[in-house]
């Protein structure tokens, strides 16, 4: 197999020409010739170094697959900023995140609308706990600059994102024991022993951006950074209902949460399919906290017969319990109560008030 190496001479011709011009105006011919000779030697040395680097990169890309972009023809990140934010500029970069200076984009995958399994934790069996989110997905894979540790790369990405209001939901280093599970769920590339991962979210373009970053380094020193960004179309309403980490925080603070994203038809206790994301995240919460036990309390508005409303609220709470059990939650960790319309949190004289009163609460036992 022959590898074609592309190389730009322009950057090295300029200093050579400048030195030649300087030599013409120097008073000492010997000094001028000496300067010109030194510049030529320096340029030749740099050219040889760059050609050797290009050959190594091209060979590595050939081994890694057709999507890999050698340094000479790919999206080499431009210099800019300091250690943390400098880099990027390649057309494949995501506008939210500037890659670390010296990183090279090797692979990208973009989908206008799809679902994505965001890894938000690890259960007692060392299996990934995931949150399913939907929206515009960008997956980027960068080759790390030489001589940079995973800790340095990770901290710089965190700092840059924090400046934009990023909130970390899950942060884990030394995840070699379950990185294969990460690949299964979200397709991140991860090899070697030095692996760091974090995920979180921030407000972005009138919506929410979920960002997951995994940095790894192999024993040979070679490494990559995975950057996955899932953008929702609209600002998430009731983040407690879609985010296990926020649910856990509210339970810890208040002992209960109003579970958003649970849907029933009027007068019916069968869960609608659009309730699945909220239920998936309750199941994820239960896996993250294996000692947690919950009471599921159903509430209705005051429309109709009070006895029928109490029964309907109990049936709805039972539907939520059964759905969680079908997802793997142990039955003895869940109990149900139906309150009917006895505990309103808003007026029943308006449509909005009645909608607020129809709810499902999760209460820590």
Q: What is the pLDDT of residue 6?
A: 43
Q: Contact, 157 vs 144, CB < 8 A?
A: no
Q: Is residue 194 part of a domain?
A: yes
257 and 207 in a single domain? The answer is no
Per-position pLDDT tens, the chain of length 365:
444 444 444 444 455 555 555 455 555 555 656 666 665 665 565 555 555 555 445 444 434 433 444 443 333 332 223 333 334 444 589 999 989 999 999 999 999 999 899 988 877 777 788 888 889 999 999 999 988 999 999 999 999 999 888 988 888 887 766 666 788 889 998 887 789 999 999 888 888 899 999 999 887 778 999 999 999 875 444 444 456 777 887 888 888 988 988 999 888 999 988 888 889 889 988 988 899 999 999 999 999 999 999 999 999 999 999 999 999 999 999 999 999 999 988 888 888 888 889 999 999 99
Pair of tokens at residue 246: 């926020």
Domain containing 162 equals 75-231
Q: Does 216 lie in the same domain as 105?
A: yes
Last residue of a domain, one of 190, 206, 231: 231
pLDDT at 18: 52
Q: Is 139 exposed, middle or buried (0-12, 13-18, 19+ CB in 10 A)?
A: buried
CA 190 to chain CA centroid, nearest Å: 14
Residues 90 and 60 in one domain: no
In whole angstroms, give the CA distance from residue 148 to residue 153: 7
Structure pTM? Answer: 0.50
Instruction: Judge contact between 104 and 77, C-beta under 8 A.
Output: yes
CATH code for position 140:
3.40.1000
Q: What is the pLDDT of residue 295?
A: 95
Residue 195, CA atoms < 13 Å, CB-side half-sphere: 18
With respect to residue 3, please indicate whether it lies within any of the assigned structural domains.
no
Rg for the chain, CA atoms, rounded: 28
Domain identity same for 139 and 255: no
């Amino acid at each position: 197999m022959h590898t074609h190496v592309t190389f730009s001479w322009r950057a090295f011709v300029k200093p050579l020409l400048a030195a030649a011009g300087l030599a013409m105006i120097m008073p000492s011919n010997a000094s001028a010739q000496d300067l010109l000779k030194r510049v030529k030697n320096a340029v030749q040395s740099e050219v040889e170094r760059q050609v050797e680097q290009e050959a190594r990169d091209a060979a590595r890309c050939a081994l890694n697959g057709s999507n890999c972009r050698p340094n000479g023809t790919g999206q080499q990140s431009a210099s800019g900023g300091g250690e943390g934010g400098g880099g990027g500029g390649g057309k494949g970069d995501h506008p939210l995140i500037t890659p670390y200076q010296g990183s090279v984009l090797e692979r990208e995958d973009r989908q206008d609308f799809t679902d994505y399994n965001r890894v938000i934790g690890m259960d007692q069996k060392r299996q990934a706990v995931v949150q399913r989110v939907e929206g515009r997905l960008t997956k980027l894979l960068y080759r790390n600059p030489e001589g940079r540790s995973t800790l340095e790369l990770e901290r710089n990405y965190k700092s840059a994102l924090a400046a934009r209001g990023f909130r970390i939901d899950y942060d884990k280093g030394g995840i070699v024991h379950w990185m294969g599970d990460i690949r299964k769920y979200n397709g991140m590339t991860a090899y070697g022993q030095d692996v760091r991962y974090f995920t979180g979210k921030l407000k972005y373009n009138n919506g929410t951006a979920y960002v997951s970053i995994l940095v790894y380094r192999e024993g040979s020193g070679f490494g990559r950074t995975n950057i996955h960004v899932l953008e929702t179309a609209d600002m998430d309403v009731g983040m407690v209902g879609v985010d296990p980490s926020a649910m856990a925080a509210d339970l810890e603070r208040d002992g209960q949460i109003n579970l958003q994203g649970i849907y029933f038809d009027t007068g019916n206790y069968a869960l609608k399919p659009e309730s699945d994301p909220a239920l998936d995240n309750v199941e994820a919460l239960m896996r993250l906290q294996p000692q947690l036990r919950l009471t599921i309390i159903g509430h209705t508005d005051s429309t109709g017969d009070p006895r029928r409303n109490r029964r309907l609220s109990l049936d709805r709470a039972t539907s939520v319990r059964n759905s969680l059990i079908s997802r793997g939650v142990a039955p003895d960790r869940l109990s149900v109560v139906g309150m009917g319309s006895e505990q309103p949190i808003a007026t029943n004289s308006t449509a909005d008030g009645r909608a607020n009163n129809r709810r499902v609460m999760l209460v820590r036992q």
